[in-house]
Structure 1
Amino acid sequence: MKVLVATEKPFAATAVEGIKKEIESAGNQVILLEKYTDNSQLLEAINDVDAMIVRSDKVTPEVLDAAKALKIVVRAGAGYDSIDTAYAKEKNIIVENTPGQNSNAVAELVFGLLVYAVRNFYNGKAGTELKDKKLGILAFGNVGRNVARIAKGFGMDIYAYDAYCPAEAIEAAGVHAVKSQDELFRTCDIISLHIPATPETKDSIDYRTVNQLPKGGILINTARKEVINEPELIKLLSERADLKYITDIKPDADTDFQQLEGRYFTTPKKMGAQTAEANTNAGIAAAKQINAFFKDGCTKYQVNK
């Protein structure tokens, strides 16, 4: 079987080595397409492959149509909104992700950004500490649980809301479960977003929602850009000089956010999974899932059922 590793933003060298070793150990062939600059290169490379591993690469209907023998696509990471899963299903192509492999990396970044924010972006003026602050985690999946684990080390008071996670499971992790998203925003000094981009969540973090934060509140987004209603958040931040917004996903309206000097920060590129460990873990997990699929039809992590 031919397995294409198509990464416009390449895996770390150690990750590529691990992927090759895993795929080839099962008698399959690895084809690398790294740092491609035009979609035509991807269309050509995917023509006769049986499987594909991607990172944030866009897998569109055009790409899927060009794949004459493709049976499975694995996204090395948790989010898979860059893949047209519905069209893949129409073509009987399995789409999987690798949940949990980047979770610790994203969670650690949350606190790197938070410390930077509460210390006034290191401008020399006195900031505040995270200890005893109320942290609200919106969505208690793999990343949310790691955020809670690290927050305990900072001595924070931790709350969470997840419409799909029982309150009992949240409480069992030593976290206060609240009954609604609104209650989370009203209660906490800091809200950390970990919701996926779905029709229900897109633009859901809006003026009304964020305006419930108490004075001095901080909103941090290491999830997806699409969940933020950017025009409404800009309007709110222009009206409330006490609020801060920090993210590792550069907004479409970055220029407008930049006007909010001292209360907004974004990394130039999405950084959540950018560690050597996460890179390697996700890549090798994707390779193992492809081998399992070809060996015995395992589709444990399929997301387009």
Structure 2
Amino acid sequence: MTHIKNKPRSLFLIPENRFREIYNAEAIVQIAELTKNDGQVYCAEDVLSQPEAFADVEIVFSGWGAPVLDEALLDALPALKAFFYGAGSVRNFVTEAFWARGIILTSAYKANAVPVADYTMASVIFALKRAWTRCQRLKEGIAPDYRRKVQGVYHGSKVGVISLGAIGQLVCERLTNLDLDVFAYDPFAGDDLFESLNVTRVERLEDLFPMCDVVSLHAPWLPQTENLVTGAMLESLPDRGTFINTSRGAIVDEPGMLKALQARPDLFAVLDLLQDEKTYHSNPITALPNVFMTPHVAGSQGHECHRMGALAVEECRRYLNGEPQVTPLTRESAERLA
């Protein structure tokens, strides 16, 4: 760890219950070595109630539950130069006032992409092995038929990836290591990215589904991506195809998905989220026998969250050493985060 002379002052500005989730003991020690940090956790009210006590804070470490960086809070932090966010999307707290001040902003979305890619990989392998369906048949007392067609994990099995953001790229890298045939749809990615990932570009989204045994969704939730995946696309999957969604529920036409899964019981869906996450227990999709449902757990959980805190520390080290940030955000790039 680099030791910095004339260390700048830093602050943990994050809800108490989120602090230890993201920043473990090692990260806290490293931050104390890099900056002047008292190890205390503060909220916006603390800063606003006594701004003179925080006038020299140059760096803020935060995470889930970060306060809105509005004019009042920024005025109370006049020396702020860098905000290191130990989580993913920053949409809920950045403001025009923040962007106007030219403060460095980073996100740990690339660290959060790792467990999502892990979840996706496990789901792809289970899908190609027909693991969930076979488990259900065994529970129903149906003897296994080893001659029944299963794609398996090797050349000839085709997996489609929607969007080549941080998660999609990780998924493609891991899939190609499994010797699978990988196809991807991303109209905004250049040919060089497809070549570097060794995946085949598909020009039209509707063409991806009928050609792939498994399709995995990783697009960000934007106005233009709502209901991007339609029921007709899902119904066009080949026999015993699987759809995986670890992105956002709003990107899928949910009524259309329900109809497709009801009409095609041979299909299978692995869903980590729904449009309304309060309906996990009551949504008719959850009750379908050809759905494996989890309550938004693909992202960082438990010790995985510490990976995001570690990236925030690395961003700070780079900032102090005048090195490029790992995940710098601009107004434009922040809008594209999931």
1:274 to 297, 301, 310: 301
What is the distance in 1 between the residues matched to 2:324 and 2:286? 50
Aligned counterpart for 1:109 among listed residues 112, 119, 131: 119
Q: Cα distance, 1:89 vs. partner?
A: 2.0
Q: How many aligned positions are there?
A: 295
SS in 2 for 1:102: helix
1:118-140 deviation per Cα after TM superposition (whole angstroms, max 9, x unaligned) = 21252226583542321001122
Q: How does 1:237-276 map to 2 (within 5 A)?
A: 237-249=261-273, 251-252=275-276, 253-254=279-280, 255-258=282-285, 260-274=287-301, 276=303
Q: Which has the larger radius of gyration?
A: 2
Paired letter, 1:274: Q
Residue equivalent to 1:183: 207
Preserved contact between residue 231 and residue 256 of structure 2 (Cα < 8 Å): yes
Which of residues 302, 310, 313 in structure 2 aligns to 1:284? 310
C-alpha distance in structure 2 between counterparts of 1:30 and 1:270, whole Å: 33
- Deviation of 1:283 after TM superposition, in Å, equals 0.9
Gaps in structure 2 of 5+ consecutive residues: 1-8, 49-53, 333-338
Deviation sequence 1:138-160 (CA, Å, 0-9, x none): 12233223322332454422111
Residue of structure 2 equivalent to 1:38 = none
Give the equivalent residue in structure 2 for 1:147.
Answer: 171
The reply to whether residue 17 of structure 1 matches residue 43 of structure 2 is no
SS of structure 2 residue aligned to 1:284: helix
2: CA distance between counterparts of 1:245 and 1:156?
20
Residue aligning to 1:36: none
Show CA shifts across 1:93-130 (max 9, x none). 54321343233322221122344452125222658354
184-193 vs 90-99, greater mean Cα deviation: 90-99
**Counterpart Cα distance in 1 of 2:198 and 2:238:** 23
What SS does structure 1 have at the residue aligned with 2:261? helix
Deviation at 1:267, TM superposition (A): 1.9
Which deviates more from structure 2 when the two are superposed, residues 121-130 or residues 16-25? Answer: 121-130
Distance change in 2, residues 1:230/1:108 (3 Å) = same
Larger deviation: 174-183 or 256-265? 256-265
SS of 2:28 mapped into structure 1: helix
**1:196-222, Cα deviation, whole Å (9 max, x unpaired):** 122222332232443332232211112
Cα deviation, residue 248, structure 1 = 2.5
* Alignment counterpart, residue 329 of structure 2, candidates 292, 297, 302: 302
User: Is the aligned partner of 1:119 residue 2:131?
Assistant: yes
Q: Which consecutive unaligned segments of at least 5 residues does structure 1 have?
A: 34-40
Q: Which residue of 2 aligns with 1:43?
A: 44
The alpha-carbon distance between structure 1 residues 169 and 27, as it changes in their structure 2 partners (threshold 3 A), is closer
Query: 1:286 deviation in Å?
Result: 1.1
Q: SS at the partner of 2:11? A: strand
Q: C-alpha deviations, 1:211-247, integer Å up to 9, x for none?
A: 3322322111122333233233223323332322212
Specify the alignment match of 1:229 in structure 2: 253
The percent identity for this pair of structures is 19
How many Å separate the matches in 1 of 2:307 and 2:38? 18
- How far residue 301 of structure 1 moved from its aligned partner, in angstroms, is 0.5
Task: Give the SS at the match of 2:288.
Answer: coil
Query: Which deviates more, 253-262 or 212-221?
Result: 253-262
Out of 291-300 and 81-90, give the one that drifted further.
Answer: 291-300
User: What SS does structure 1 have at the residue aligned with 2:220?
Assistant: coil
> Which range is displaced more, 240-249 or 80-89?
80-89
Distance 1:181 1:46 in 2: 48
Cα pair distance change 1:130/1:65, threshold 3 Å: farther
Aligned alpha-carbon RMSD (Å): 3.3
Is contact 2:116-2:299 (8 Å) kept? Answer: yes
Aligned-partner SS, 2:301: coil
Answer with 130-139 or 294-303: which moved more: 294-303
TM-score (norm 1): 0.79
Counterpart-to-counterpart distance in 1, 2:196 and 2:166:
15
Structure 1 residues 142 and 259: alpha-carbon distance in aligned structure 2, compared to 1, 3 A threshold: closer
Distance (whole Å) between structure 1 residues aligned to residue 284 and residue 61 of structure 2: 35
Report if the CA contact (8 A) 1:78-1:102 is conserved: yes
After TM superposition, the structure 1 stretch with the greater mean CA deviation from structure 2, 260-269 or 186-195, is: 260-269
